Amino acid sequence: MVSPSNQRCDDLTTLELDDLLNEMRGRHWAFHYFGLRDDPKAIGAVYDWSTCADVVILRDEDDATAFRVPTFPDTDVFAPEMVSWQYHAAAIWTLRAVLTLPRPGAPGAPIGLLAPAEKCTVPQDWRRPMTVHP
């Protein structure tokens, strides 16, 4: 997997995985590397909206999860109890989906609550060591 760098992109439907990661970096997502930085077990990305967060868990190019989680001071975004939206597919489709999700409160934004799928959780034993890259 490639580390994201600064770059703005407009047409998310024609972008490759590296371009989508660059877009996330440009939008100021925080990246969490679970395991060794050079060989992570998974990469998590979080965009904080203050009342909720959009979260992505990248396991490999063919296995990724995205979801929106309501946030409170003690919320563990990598082990949500409830989500308002979730998506599970290959990394490129998952990133496209989360990057086109309407902002909270906008028309079409998810508002209901759902039980999260098991893939919405990063196991505790994967979380050490962890590197956070804002």
pLDDT for 76-122, tens place per residue?
999 999 999 999 999 999 999 999 999 999 999 999 999 999 999 99
Residue 5 counted as domain residue:
no
Give 2's pLDDT tier (boundaries 50, 70, 90): very low
Note whether residue 6 is domain-resident: no
51/104 Cα distance (integer angstroms): 8
Backbone φ and ψ of 65, nearest 5°? -135, 140
User: How does 48-76 read in b/e, with b if 16+ C-beta sit within 10 Å?
Assistant: eeeebbbbbbbbeeeebbbbbbbbeeeee
* Domain-located, residue 96: yes
* 16-45 pLDDT per residue, tens: 989 999 999 999 999 999 988 788 899 999
What residue spans of the chain are helical by DSSP H? 17-26, 91-99
Range of the domain at 59: 12-133
Contacts with 96 (C-beta within 8 Å, 6 or more apart), sequence order: 12, 13, 15, 20
